[in-house]
Amino acid sequence: MAKLPDYPEVAMAVYGIINNQHSTILATVERMTKQVGVDTILKNARRDNAELAWVPNEAERYTFCITLASQGWMPTACASLQFARNFNEREDQ
């Protein structure tokens, strides 16, 4: 299993939300929980030498996402996959 967020990281996220908008607390906790699941999947995929393919959905019309999808299957050790995950998280915000 991937490393869980530590107490100071969670406390900073929740404290920052409390000072801004109470309605986003649930979304922040949900995002942090899902991130641990994603990290666990990637960690296990790297361990098992799995390959991944980027499959954009209808909403992903960004050039970078389409370029990744056109490359086909890639090993999970590929640095562009980590960059892509971070890039996609920024798009969603």
10-55 per-position pLDDT tens digit: 787 777 777 776 667 777 778 888 888 888 887 888 888 888 777 7
For 51, phi then psi, to 5°, come to -120, 145
pLDDT tier, 7 (very low <50, low <70, confident <90, very high otherwise): confident
Rounded to 10 degrees, the C-alpha dihedral 26/23/58/88 comes to -70
Strands (E), 13-89: 51-52, 74-75
* Residue-level pLDDT at 16: 73
* Residue-level pLDDT at 93: 45
* Token pair of 52 as six digits: 């991944």
* Residue-level pLDDT at 38: 80
DSSP class of 93: -
